[in-house]
Amino acid sequence: MTAPRIPGRRFLHSPGPTPLPDAVLHAMGVQPMDLADPRVDANIAAVERGLKRLLHSEAAEIFLYASNGHGVWEAAIENLAAPGQVLLMPGTGHFSESWALQAEGLGRRVVRTPWREGWPIDAEAVEQALRDDRSHEVQAVLAVHTDTASGVTSDIAAIRRAIDAARHPALLVADVVASLGAAPFAMDALGVDVALGASQKGLMCPPGVGFVAVNGKALAAAQRNPAPRFYWDWERRRSEVSYRKFCGTPPQNLLFGLEAALSLLFDEGLDSAWARHARLAGAVQAAVEGWREGGRVDFFARDAASRSVSVTTIALGEGIDVDALRTRARERFQVAIAGGLGPLAGRAFRIGHLGDSNAAVILGALAGVEAALRSLGVAVGEGGVQRAVRFLAAD
Ligand SMILES: Cc1ncc(COP(=O)(O)O)c(C=O)c1O
């Protein structure tokens, strides 16, 4: 049985996967190639170059994986710490905790700094944890730049300063899964040793490609690490042969899509793409400012300055059924939004506003969400969507 046709478009506002630009869809529509076809190597080289440019890194080596974000989390853990060694996980909420559990599942020890709900990483707590680690057991600090569950972006420069102030040799690893392409990030200037991301958010591609950018210091640490590993091993992937780079067959069609998506970002200009994301996030925040006056919904992120340009997490008052809200928004108003994750499950919904988006799409999505809230009887302040319109009109 086929599903009934949806007239018009359903707006996808989960914070990943995100909508695909037509140019990406078209680029993926090619027949697979034999591995010696020169287009395979040329495509991989273009993706590596593009990611370095996007990350603002001269120094890093790029390792690409047929994986999602959890895959590249695993790559960082496996390469940078041996079982029994220690990783420091600054608390950001759901995603720092998920990464910590993965590291513990792989036999690494994890030191956590506390998460304050609605706030970014506490850099002072990171510094203190490193000062307390007198014997320098901590191998790396694993920092989530934007926690997609809380909608909070942390200050990676402050974490670099914390590591330096503690005079600790730990490497700095940044998860830019939810921020890359949407928010400014400059790997070398920030003193980030490893940055990792995935294809399905700001990079406007389907899920399925993960990547890690690794500087010389981190590569040297990985070489010293005796942990047994194979698929994720960086050293094994340092090859000119595409089959070896991927530890097997590269996900060709996804990589053609990624090359096209990177070109779109460079054609727009990174400054323009970041400004566009900030503007659209501002429109969403303006709407939430209006809605919160009804007293039933509010920002989850307490600190306005650290509200993410990629995703806005909206806390719900007692008794509001988030599943009913998502279903209503999706099925009646054709706006797909996300629910709360981890500690926020049942307590929040999220509007993704990253990737291939514009003012009209965001206004449509906000109107659909407001209509869904109202149709379920949730009291929202008058003028949420109007505030978003005024914000965009004034900008
Ligand atoms: C910040 C962040 N890191 C890691 C992940 C894990 O990525 P994946 O779901 O592709 O495994 C996600 C997923 O949403 C994320 O938002």
Work out the percent of the chain whose per-residue pLDDT is above 70.
Answer: 100
Q: What is the mean pLDDT of residues 213-232?
A: 98
Q: What is the mean pLDDT of residues 229-238?
A: 97
pLDDT of residue 179: 98
Alpha-carbon span 257 to 23, nearest angstrom:
8
Which amino acid residue places its CA nearest to atom 4 of ligand 1?
Answer: 69
Name the DSSP letter for residue 198: E
The H-or-E segment that residue 212 falls in is strand 210-214
Top CATH class of 11-17+269-394 equals alpha beta
How do the domains of the chain map onto residue ranges? 11-17+269-394, 22-266
Give burial (CB, 10 Å; 0-12/13-18/19+) of 382: exposed
Q: What is the mean pLDDT of residues 191-214?
A: 98
Q: What is the mean pLDDT of residues 172-198?
A: 98
Enumerate helices (H) and strands (E) in the chain, giving the number of each.
Answer: 15, 14
Determine contact, residues 180/54, Cβ cutoff 8 Å. yes
Determine contact, residues 215/60, Cβ cutoff 8 Å. yes
| Token code pair at residue 371 | 């209509």
| Token code pair at residue 205 | 């591609």
pLDDT of residue 71: 98
Rounded mean pLDDT of the chain?
97
Determine contact, residues 92/101, Cβ cutoff 8 Å. no
| Token code pair at residue 51 | 């990611």
pLDDT tens digits for 58-67? 989 999 999 9
Residues belonging to the chain: 395
Determine contact, residues 64/245, Cβ cutoff 8 Å. yes
198 within ligand 1 shell (Cβ under 6 A): yes
Going by C-alpha positions, the residue among 35, 182, 174, 204 that lies closest to residue 95 is 174
pLDDT of residue 318: 95
Q: What is the mean pLDDT of residues 76-101?
A: 98
Architecture of the domain whose range is 22-266: 3-Layer(aba) Sandwich (3.40)
Q: What is the mean pLDDT of residues 161-188?
A: 98
Per residue, the 3-state secondary structure of 231-277, as one string, reads: CCCHHHHCCCCHHHHCCCCCCHHHHHHHHHHHHHHHHHCHHHHHHHH
Report the separation in Å between the CA atom of 177 and the middle of ligand 1, taken as the mean of its atom positions. Answer: 6
Strand arrangement, sheet containing 138-144? 61-65, 210-214, 194-198, 171-175, 138-144, 86-89, 109-112
Q: What is the mean pLDDT of residues 48-55?
A: 98
**Which of the four pLDDT bands, split at 50, 70 and 90, describes residue 150?**
very high
Q: What is the mean pLDDT of residues 79-85?
A: 98
pLDDT tens digits for 278-288? 999 999 999 99
pLDDT tens digits for 290-326? 999 999 999 999 999 999 999 999 999 999 999 999 9
Q: How far is the CA of 236 from the CAs of 79, 159, 243, in angstroms?
A: 11, 30, 11
Q: Which atom of ligand 1 sits closest to the CA of residue 68?
A: 10
pLDDT of residue 1: 62
Report the separation in Å between the CA atom of 244 and the middle of ligand 1, taken as the mean of its atom positions. Answer: 25
| Token code pair at residue 163 | 């590591």
177 within ligand 1 shell (Cβ under 6 A): yes
- The best mutation among 177, 201, 203 to test binding of ligand 1, ranked by most ligand atoms within 8 Å of the C-beta, falls on 177
173 within ligand 1 shell (Cβ under 6 A): no
180 within ligand 1 shell (Cβ under 6 A): no
> Fold identical between 11-17+269-394 and 22-266?
no
φ and ψ at residue 237, rounded to 5 degrees: -90, 0
Alpha-carbon span 336 to 120, nearest angstrom:
27
pLDDT of residue 123: 98
| First-to-final CA distance of the chain | 47
